[in-house]
Structure 1
């Protein structure tokens, strides 16, 4: 998250600062700064920009999901079964609730068939998932082209979520934060590394855990930077702070402050120093917390 506000002005009395050593990444030209309200736009984004359940091969049930039960020639058993907060369902005339959480409808159908066999000879049971409510959508906003809510009915990786949001914009600072608003319901073996890498916001035990990833690592295809996104996750693509290069430069302009942006590179991106500029008169102005300049 943006920890503090940063204002940086480079005023050259007449010239460019001495060249610095080679840089890895830098800022790019940017339009005049505008107030971003991406988070507010999330609510207006259509949930149609989701995966529409495509690719769901093994849906594991959770609290809130609804199953449709049908027993051939036995209508007294027919009806909707809702998975309760404890992850269980109650079947008519079956004394003991059946555990449904983190199981598939096929596994549960077999257990219901065995339970009904006490009352019916060779019961023919049909069971299907009629409503998938246990997995809230993930939300992505910040420096992306289309803030969105992304359907989480199938296991989805960070790169897929960013693709749904139209990828990152030039305003991206280089960091992506994923806040985990709910515990992982049905963890799988490959989730162990991701769970171990979670951090807490401060020392508060009730703080929302989060993970941080580098955009460059995601683009490079590094597996560790492309984790599975959980239902209910909030993904924030951090926006870069604007800086302003003014004074005796060819084209005074605003830039985005990206990682490893140096003074010499910033000056170069606005066309360099004008002829006759005094290289020893460069000045950097920052704002302290509270708005005071230093």
Structure 2
């Protein structure tokens, strides 16, 4: 779940506040219009976690490993297609050609077969109306055989699907050929559907696919399935399923503050670490940055403790500390902020005040000259 615009604005405000609290122990209060509180302590709004050798492991995302999927294997082994409205059945009664409509030279089996009507039935000679909807081919065969025994001794009945038209799944989003795929007597898995759709595009957020079934949506990681071999992400698709693969527009992080080239970065398919993000912007500004104040601000709109964000702090006073940053994976909409050194902030304040002071001095000198006249 991505943060709302309001949450992003609050987090950006928090980023500005952090620019003034790089000194350990400092506190800044902010206004909160929504809660009608004029002063709030920053500590009440965020959870701060230092990234240290002893703590970095708890913030590292769970490693994806290759896994089998015994449940899926069982589903595939037990899979049987069930006839639906619009399907076409091809029914053959051996040694009784008068009951078998030949396809002929000009008509296919799909055109000459037994169409399943809207009420889920077909008509067959002698036995009349036969209910077939929701039944497997074996069940339809047994039913027709049983009914024909009243007219034919030991009938040899063969039933198969000439056309699969009743059940479909939908593939949308960032695949090379989005559209509709039929559900047939061959089990169709999620991975099969992606491959039959031409694979994913370069702009796919393949770690955040969604599968919607009967009004319920679950997140699927195609990255884990296709690149890491985690078969637990695979699913046997059923009638009406919708597989959506979104664009990677949300896969962005913001690197701000005292870095050499502050900008927005796009998270690559395999992810992005804190150290990689800092490298992408040319590293920190060694003359103005406070090396103890490399922060990652992550909004937490659904936090149980009511915190606005989690803040992760990395001290890169020693260059070797950047190795810890390689173990910390960034998430969409993270804000990486490098604070300014205290002396740099003081210089900024002075430089901001100089025009005002100069203007005041010029005005004072002018007044004094008038008075001397």
TM range (shorter): 0.5 to 0.7
Q: Could you tell me whether the CA contact under 8 Å between 1:89 and 1:100 is conserved in 2?
A: no
**1:1-294 maps to which residues of 2 (within 5 A)?**
4-5=4-5, 20-21=51-52, 22=56, 24=60, 59-71=81-93, 73=96, 75=98, 78=101, 80-85=113-118, 87-95=120-128, 97-104=130-137, 106-121=138-153, 123=155, 125-142=157-174, 144=175, 147-153=178-184, 154-164=186-196, 165-167=198-200, 169=202, 172=205, 174-181=207-214, 208-215=215-222, 217-218=224-225, 219-238=227-246, 239=248, 240-246=250-256, 248-256=258-266, 266-279=277-290
- Against the structure 1 CA distance between its residues 263 and 70, is the aligned structure 2 distance closer, same or farther, given a 3 Å change threshold? closer
- TM-score normalized with structure 1 length: 0.56
Q: Spell out, residue by residue over 1:20-48, the C-alpha distance to the aligned partner (whole angstroms, 9 max, x if none).
A: 454646xxxxxxxxxxxxxxxxxxxxxxx
Between the aligned partners of 1:248 and 1:171, the Cα distance in structure 2 is: 32
Larger Rg: 2
Q: CA RMSD, aligned part only?
A: 4.5
TM-superposed deviation, 1:155: 1.8
Q: 1:75 to 1:225 in 2, by over 3 A?
A: same
Unaligned 5+ runs, structure 2:
23-49, 62-78, 102-111, 302-373
More deviation in 62-71 or 165-174?
165-174
Return the TM-score normalized by structure 2.
0.46
User: Unpaired runs of 5+ in structure 1?
Assistant: 26-56, 182-207, 289-294
- State the SS of the aligned residue for 1:137: strand
TM-superposed CA distance for 1:80, in Å, is 3.2
Q: Is the deviation greater in 151-160 or in 127-136?
A: 151-160
Equivalents in 1 of 2:3, 2:118: separation in Å?
37
Tell me how far apart the structure 2 counterparts of residues 85 and 147 of structure 1 sit (CA, whole Å).
28
**Distance in 2, Cα, partners of 1:81 & 1:146:** 32
Contact 1:88 1:97 in 2 (8 A): yes
As a proportion of its length, which structure holds more helix? 2
Task: Specify the SS of the correspondent of 2:278.
Answer: helix
**Is contact 1:63-1:101 (8 Å) kept?**
no
Deviations 1:199-223 (A, max 9, x none): xxxxxxxxx1122234454343334
Aligned length: 226
Greater relative CO (CA pairs within 8 A, separation 6+): 1
